[in-house]
Structure 1
Amino acid sequence: MSSPVLRYYEMGHGVTAFSSTRHGGCGKGTYGSFNVNKYCGDEPAAVAENRRMLCAELGIGTDNLVVPHQTHGTAVRRIAAGFVSLSADMRDMLLEGVDAVMTDVKGMCVGVSTADCIPILLYDARHGACCAVHAGWRGTVARIVERAVDEMAAHYGTQAEMLTVVIGPGISQEAFEVGDEVYEAFDREGFTMGRIARRYDKWHIDLWECNRIQLISKGVNPDKIFIDGTCTYKNCGEFFSARRLGTGSGRIFTGIMMK
């Protein structure tokens, strides 16, 4: 029987952190073969089976898998213990328009879906809390990862210097060609363009570095930020890439769970 092929990250004792690859599921075509996102056009039966397989791999029930419907905004949703007792419709409603999810509940896997955008995992060992963040270029400009750190501080007492962070697979600067309007959006928001942008035929933006800079500005120890460094655009055989496969394709799921 198939099982998902996951890339695991070391974030500390008692924590499972990972990014899914395209392998080990039952999806077909541009959704082949492992996609757990039900919002990207995949067959519902394939998504359900892939979710079942992922949860079996993690040793949890499917109600403990939290997959938000992201909209490139900055909404951060706190997942409390009562979440699993809600109806499926209510859970979907709470996850609508959400681009970061955080929890202090053990056995709850929170994650985000990407296919070139940047997934970021935050773990606060001291307070037993974690967060998954979806940072595309719009979310990065809007400083969603900074907001996530603030929300963890507000709800769990998180101190940024105690966080361990993984920045998962995403599009590299070399592959992320953008129009002048995107460059200008970063410039308007006060980013140091000499550090994050490079001109080829067009501008290219380094989203990994943008988010690393934001984390450091909040007080995260640079030595505790791990960047996976895998470019999804260049490695679309292993990871989904919307720029290579089109938007009608699967999504990487990057999740974190405290045991």
Structure 2
Amino acid sequence: MQNNFRVTFINNKKILEYIDEDIKILFTTKDFGSFSTNDSEKYLELFQEINYDNKSIILSDQIHENHVEIIKEGKEEVLRLKETDGMVTNLSGVSLCTVYADCVPLFFYDKTKKVVASSHSGWKGTAKNIAKKTIEIMKKEYNCKPKDIKCLIGPSISQKNYEVDEKVFKAIKNVTNTDKIAIKNGEKYYLDLWEANKILLEKEGIISENIIISGFCTYEFSELFYSYRREGQNVGRMTGIIFIEKKPS
């Protein structure tokens, strides 16, 4: 499944990218250092390094809720949204940026309506079904049809490396309506957030073949990614970016 994201090199640094026509998704590795939703300069440096001249950069502060913001205006500036874990736009040249260190990145795009979205879905975001909230906004604001929406589940922690307690398991079980998202291990559970989000996406009408799981585990691929579960509270963060590329004038 890793072939969906291609590992490329920029100035001898590894970066993951996914390109589909004029939709582009980037996911940094440890080679680029740690990103923060407070550090706009870091993003400007990254965009300069990858030779992308867009300066309309949208950051969200990611509080593990399910609020999704609609981006209706693109300015040449870095904008940080308060109390936001998801973003949707149909504007070309506007980069939606989120940060990760095990949580699940959800990247959405509808090529028909030219709409992209990005949502941060850790176990709390999954339990609060941010996937559903994002799709509802794409449908309501841009008339997107579920059959036209693709969703990429980006690099994040895999089931075999994600042991949780019963509280977390029950929260995900309640929203997915199945216990097949976890393997019981004594008093703990190995939780599959990839499968849980796939189930939630399919419940909203996203076609199974339009749900693409990157297969990259942030815990396992220690040479590429930071991992909260592996490294602890002071771990760095990767950034995930999705945008509609500007057409040449």
- Aligned position for 1:60: 53
For residues 164 and 45 of structure 2, what CA distance do their matches in structure 1 show?
A: 37
For residues 172 and 107 of structure 2, what CA distance do their matches in structure 1 show?
A: 23
Letter in 1 for 2:182: A
Residue 14 (structure 1) aligned to one of 8, 14, 22 = 22
Shift of 1:167: 0.5
For residues 76 and 126 of structure 1, what CA distance do their matches in structure 2 show?
A: 21
- Aligned position for 1:173: 159
Change (3 A) 1:85 1:54: closer
Letter in 1 for 2:75: V
Alignment of structure 1 residues 136-147 onto 2, 5 Å: 136-147=122-133
Letter in 2 for 1:197: A
Change (3 A) 1:2 1:246: farther
- TM-score of the superposed pair, with normalisation by structure 1: 0.84
Q: CA RMSD in A?
A: 2.0
Residue 254 (structure 1) aligned to one of 220, 240, 248 = 240
Q: Does residue 1:200 correspond to 2:209, yes or no?
A: no
- TM-score of the superposed pair, with normalisation by structure 2: 0.87
For residues 148 and 205 of structure 1, what CA distance do their matches in structure 2 show?
A: 23
Is the contact between residue 4 and residue 53 of structure 1 (CA under 8 Å) also seen in structure 2?
no
Structure 1's unaligned 5+ residue stretches are: 26-33
Shift of 1:149: 0.3
For residues 52 and 175 of structure 1, what CA distance do their matches in structure 2 show?
A: 33
- Aligned position for 2:222: 236
Change (3 A) 1:249 1:2: farther
Residue 108 (structure 2) aligned to one of 122, 127, 134 = 122
For residues 257 and 5 of structure 1, what CA distance do their matches in structure 2 show?
A: 20
For residues 208 and 117 of structure 1, what CA distance do their matches in structure 2 show?
A: 10
Structure 2's unaligned 5+ residue stretches are: 1-9
For residues 192 and 181 of structure 1, what CA distance do their matches in structure 2 show?
A: 15
Residue 70 (structure 2) aligned to one of 74, 78, 89 = 78
- 1:84 aligns to what SS in structure 2? coil
For residues 58 and 152 of structure 1, what CA distance do their matches in structure 2 show?
A: 29
- For residues 183-230 of structure 1, give each alpha carbon's deviation from its aligned partner in whole angstroms, at most 9, with x where no partner exists: 12223335201x201012421110000101111111111111110111
Is the contact between residue 198 and residue 205 of structure 1 (CA under 8 Å) also seen in structure 2?
yes
Alignment of structure 1 residues 130-169 onto 2, 5 Å: 130-169=116-155
Shift of 1:3: 7.2
Structure ranking higher in strand proportion: 2
Shift of 1:67: 1.7
Is the contact between residue 68 and residue 84 of structure 2 (CA under 8 Å) also seen in structure 1?
yes
Q: Extract structure 1 runs of 4+ deviating beyond 2 A.
A: 1-5, 186-191
Is the contact between residue 120 and residue 165 of structure 1 (CA under 8 Å) also seen in structure 2?
yes
Is the contact between residue 30 and residue 225 of structure 2 (CA under 8 Å) also seen in structure 1?
yes
Letter in 2 for 1:19: F
Identity over the aligned pairs, expressed in percent?
Answer: 26
Q: Does residue 1:5 correspond to 2:14, yes or no?
A: yes
Letter in 2 for 1:70: Q
Is the contact between residue 55 and residue 65 of structure 1 (CA under 8 Å) also seen in structure 2?
no
Change (3 A) 1:66 1:175: same
- Aligned position for 1:183: 169
Change (3 A) 1:204 1:222: same
For residues 205 and 18 of structure 2, what CA distance do their matches in structure 1 show?
A: 22
Shift of 1:35: 2.2
- Aligned position for 1:29: none
Letter in 1 for 2:45: M
Is the contact between residue 153 and residue 212 of structure 2 (CA under 8 Å) also seen in structure 1?
yes
